[in-house]
Structure 1
Amino acid sequence: MTAPRRPGLLTDLGAAALALVLVVIAGLLGKWQYDAWQAHRDAEARDLTGLAPVPMTDVLDSDDPFPAPDVGRPVEVAGEWLDGGFWVADREHDGVPGYWAVAPLDIGDAAVLVVRGWAPQPDDDLLLATGEADVTGWLQPPEGSLVTDDDPNDDVFPEIRVADAVQRVDVDLYSAYVISQEPAGGLEDAELEALPSPSRFTGVRNLLYAFEWWVFGAFAGYIWWRWRRDATAAEVASPTVQ
């Protein structure tokens, strides 16, 4: 003989309402964390190149680390060219491999490295920069993939590294460089990659939290379903001993 076991109406409705509230809360919290993950990625990859230029000293001081949100921001610098310029290899212009001409510009409290333009081959005359200058360009972080310099004694570097360049000047250097919007005489414009792709790990903690909340919500729904199934299942009566 069997007899159904059913919870009371208020108990049934209360359990369903509680499960629904928990699922909704977990879903909303998961969406909030997901949106935070997306916002981190959008902030890292935003394109600032179309903004009006601002003085570089308004963005960072000479002792500051590079401000990651300002990659590609147009800035203005004014000062005097210093000796110690160099070329940077493996830079393309319209698909043609070549070199960037880089020179330090003393702007008062320190100097900033300025990419003055591109050339197909190193040329001492094109590298020469003297006198005062006003430069408008795009702010970029120093490079540092640890590429080996085959000949540290020449004027060709594999990357723009502040640690390498500071050995060529007698002043401190900013932890940034500027790609000039107007190339110097005899040089072509240096192509800019101002919109970096976000790292795969950018905001990953928020993404993991989002999935965690959604799992909590699914678990709350599963617990209600199991309770409802067990509460309404038929109960098998124990056999009567004759």
Structure 2
Amino acid sequence: MNRGAPASARLWLRPGLVGLHLFAIVAVAFCVFMGMWQLGAYDSRQEHERADKQDVPRVAFAGLWGEDEPFEARLNHRPVAVEGEFASATDQVWVTGKQQGGRTGAWLLAPLIVGGDQALLVVRGWAPSVTEFPPVPAGTVTVAAVLEPGEAIGTAFDTDRREIGSVRIPALTNELPYDLYSGFAISTSTAVAGGLDLVPPPKPGDVSWTVGLRNLAYAFQWWVFGAFAAFMWWRMSTESVAAARPKVA
């Protein structure tokens, strides 16, 4: 008759260890529960952010964003109707390294003067390669567009070729004779595209995975605590059983 298994079971079920087992079960269950709760909070933040971005009506640009005001979260992906006059075609800029339809090309960026020397940079469209600047629409125009924050990473402005690697507003402010808004707009108006392909703006419902990132980090943190509690239970239990085994041998 094999008495090894019953003896081993008795060692694991000694009164001193039963309390440790119960504590480990409660600790691990609590950590799993808290992790799931934080994960649910993360999902809720994502859903709320997505709901806030859906079905946003197009509004007039005038009065929405004041001169010299920073680009705020309420302006991100905001559909607007901008009225103004395009600056000279020679003031346009190619923004290189922009992918569309699986190809790499360039955006055509044009200053739209909306009052005095105030100008909003407008992406008129996308081209598969850099070419001569197309003419700008004459007179006052109304451009349907979507507001976007300025970009940060990209190559420096090339004065001779009038090219830049991203829509970096500070860099372009030094090169253009206008007081630029701190964000830009992606035009959805074919009339001002100059024969270029329109650039699809980000969908209003698109939400970055970083929204609610703190809750997601807390979820993983709780699960790590739970894994650590399980590890400590196993280590303490096995050491206790190993220490007690010679006494009952």
- Tell me the TM-score range normalised by the shorter chain: 0.5 to 0.7
> How many residues end up aligned between the 2 structures?
230
Q: TM-score scaled by structure 1?
A: 0.66
Separation in structure 1 between the aligned mates of residue 73 and residue 53 of structure 2, nearest angstrom: 12
Separation in structure 1 between the aligned mates of residue 162 and residue 233 of structure 2, nearest angstrom: 71
**Residue 191 (str. 1) matches residue 223 (str. 2):** no
> Closer, same or farther in 2 for the Cα pair 1:167/1:187, shift >3 Å?
farther
Q: Which has the higher contact order (CA 8 A, sep 6+)?
A: 1
Identity %: 32
> Closer, same or farther in 2 for the Cα pair 1:98/1:209, shift >3 Å?
closer
Structure 1 alignment gaps of length 5 or more:
none
User: Aligned residue for 2:28?
Assistant: 23
Separation in structure 2 between the aligned mates of residue 227 and residue 96 of structure 1, nearest angstrom: 59
AA aligned to 1:86 is Q
Structure 2 alignment gaps of length 5 or more:
1-6
Partner residue of 2:144 out of 136, 142, 152: 136
| 8 Å CA contact 1:43, 1:69 repeated in 2 | no
Per-residue deviation at 1:147? Answer: 0.9
Q: TM-score scaled by structure 2?
A: 0.65
Separation in structure 1 between the aligned mates of residue 24 and residue 222 of structure 2, nearest angstrom: 14
Partner residue of 1:147 out of 148, 155, 158: 155
Partner residue of 1:117 out of 111, 116, 125: 125
Instruction: Give 3-state SS (helix, strand or coil) of 1:88's partner.
Output: strand
- Structure 1 vs Structure 2 CA RMSD: 4.5
Task: Give the stretch that moved more between structures: 205-214 or 225-234.
Answer: 225-234
Per-residue deviation at 1:117? Answer: 2.9
| 8 Å CA contact 1:117, 1:190 repeated in 2 | yes
| 8 Å CA contact 1:182, 1:189 repeated in 2 | no
Could you list the per-position Cα deviations for residues 89-122 of structure 1 after superposition, in whole angstroms to 9, with x for gaps in the alignment? 5456656665433222233483211122345653
Per-residue deviation at 1:64? Answer: 4.0
Instruction: Give 3-state SS (helix, strand or coil) of 2:15's partner.
Output: coil
- Residues 34-183 of structure 1: matches in 2 within 5 Å? 34-35=39-40, 51-56=56-61, 60-67=65-72, 71-83=76-88, 85-90=91-96, 91=98, 99-108=106-115, 110-119=118-127, 122-124=131-133, 126-149=134-157, 151-183=158-190
